[in-house]
Chain A
Amino acid sequence: MVTAAGLVTVGVRAGDAPPGAAGVPPSSSVTASAGATTSAGATAAPPSRPVPPRRPGVGTRPRELTTGPVLPTSAPVRLDIPTLRVSTGLIGLGLQPDGTMEVPGDAATAGWYTAAPTPGSLGPAVVAAHVNLDGRPGVFTALATLRPGDTVEVARADGTVAVFAITTVQRHPKDRFPTEAVYGAIDHAGLRLITCGGDFDTARRSYRDNVVAFARLVRTERR
């Protein structure tokens, strides 16, 4: 899709970006189709939906209002992102007293937000992990390098593995976080991977931006 779109490679290297930038301009999005007419979801989703319906008849009815495969609710236990060589356990994350989301206590663990749908079921599942912490690269150190179509696998307590395809990777200032796009209602089984990016504000000891990778369920495996 890259050549078809008429690419101009300007060869901006990471070193040209602001220090600590994860490589995505604020509020920009990276999609397979970029400026083309189709949506990000349409480009990254496979042409067919190979997941069998979860129960006989489900998904084949003409009046189904949701799109794509959907799994029943089941807690996630493990996260694998093959292209980033990420394989990690998942803990539960709730809200802190100030209303922000809890985050994992170490660099090597990712967490899922328990006040959102479980990965694979209808709606936006949310997984957060550090880009770095205490001198260590975090699980999501390279999250901003994910590309549309890359797969993300979430093993669930019910023995299924929900396989997602990245649709878009975006970077947003934390003070303009796209709350509705990340946590709001969607008509499919989605997944959002969140970490930090952009400039590091040394005074506040905080990155100015969040990198959010959006994905949707494409199939289910059983292991």
Chain B
Amino acid sequence: MRLRTMAAVAPMLAFPLVFAAPAAAQESVQIQLDALNKSGVSGTATMTAQDNGDLTVTINARGLVPNAPHAQHIHGAANGTDFMCPDQSADKDGDGFVNTEEGLPDYGDIFVSLTTSGDTSKKSGLAVDRMPKADANGTVTYRRTIKAAELPAGTVKFLKDLHIVQHGIDVNDNDKYDLEGLGESTFAKSLGVSGIPEEATNPASCGMVSGAAAGSMPAGGVETGDGSTEPGGQPVLVILGGLAAAAAGVVLRRRPRTDS
């Protein structure tokens, strides 16, 4: 073919000339939310970078404390550090629960607070009045698009290094966060807020990246030919038989010896 030596510059009316400078990839990252602290929570989340740099976050999780607000955050950093979700071995004080401070070395600091309105910075990390409330069945459904200007630098570039953590568990099964459960939140206290139950701040789920997709899906097929030559190859069709019962319609082709 020797196409590498060709410099085809003929004007193509049927096909737009494209000289777009490659921008940062626009992609959608899929997250699998798994239970922490035996909360029974499970779910999925997506973080989709929009072409204007905004970030759309969706969360669908169940098994959370019903009718209770759940602080939720993107954790991690935009510096190449790939944090992970903690397992029970992160319970350094041995109280049977991985609390928020004990999880931080694994999942990183609060990067974005996934509030329902207003500020999304780390400062809103415990703004439970603006955090999503689970419904009567313990389901949290969340969707918010955060403006590019409000995102920490590097969010989109390092999207796949980030995690989502939901907080709030009910260890004494009274359908609320109370001091009877696990006492006072040492994490809240470290931020200068007293009297917050540890149940409200302990992690209920942590989500790691499980996959990625295109950020937006093109419509239909791709117009990549005008029929002006025979496609190269002259393939020889080989049909599988024998063991390959399911192979009807499946073909293998030998690469031709000749090149077009």
**Smallest beta-carbon distance B220→chain A, Å:** 5
B180 at the interface (CB under 8 A from A): no
Asked if A106 and B25 sit within 8 Å, CB to CB, the answer is no
B1-22 interface (Cβ within 8 A of A) = 1-4, 6-10, 12, 14-22
Is B229 touching A132 in the complex (CB atoms < 8 A)?
yes
8 A Cβ contacts from A162-198 to B? 172-175, 177, 179, 183-187, 194-197
Taking CB atoms, residues of chain A closer than 8 Å to B3 are: 86, 88, 107-108, 137-139
For chain A residues 76-124, which have a beta carbon within 8 Å of chain B? 76, 83-88, 90-96, 98-108, 111-118, 121-124
B204 interface contact, C-beta 8 A: no
Q: Does B235 belong to the interface (CB within 8 Å)?
A: yes
Report which of A34, A99, A209 forms a contact with B240, defined as CB distance below 8 A.
Answer: A34
Asked if B54 is an interface residue, CB under 8 A from chain A, the answer is: no
Interface residue tally of chain A, by bracket? 35 or more
Residues of chain B within 8 A of A145, CB atoms compared:
232-233, 235, 253, 255-256
Number of B positions contacting A (CB below 8 A):
86
B218, CB-defined interface residue at 8 Å: yes
Inter-chain CB contacts under 8 Å: number: 357
Q: B231-260: which residues lie under 8 A (CB-CB) from chain A?
A: 231-247, 249-253, 255-256, 259-260
What's the minimum C-beta distance from B215 to chain A, rounded to whole angstroms? 5
Choice from B20, B84, B217 contacting A183 with Cβ under 8 Å: B217
Q: Contact residues of A with B, CB < 8 Å?
A: 2, 4-17, 20-25, 28-31, 34-36, 54-55, 57-58, 61, 63-66, 70, 72-73, 75-76, 83-88, 90-96, 98-108, 111-118, 121-124, 126, 128-142, 144-145, 147, 172-175, 177, 179, 183-187, 194-197, 200, 202, 205-207, 209-210
Which residues of B approach A to under 8 Å, CB–CB?
1-4, 6-10, 12, 14-30, 32, 51, 80-82, 84-85, 87, 157, 160, 208-247, 249-253, 255-256, 259-260
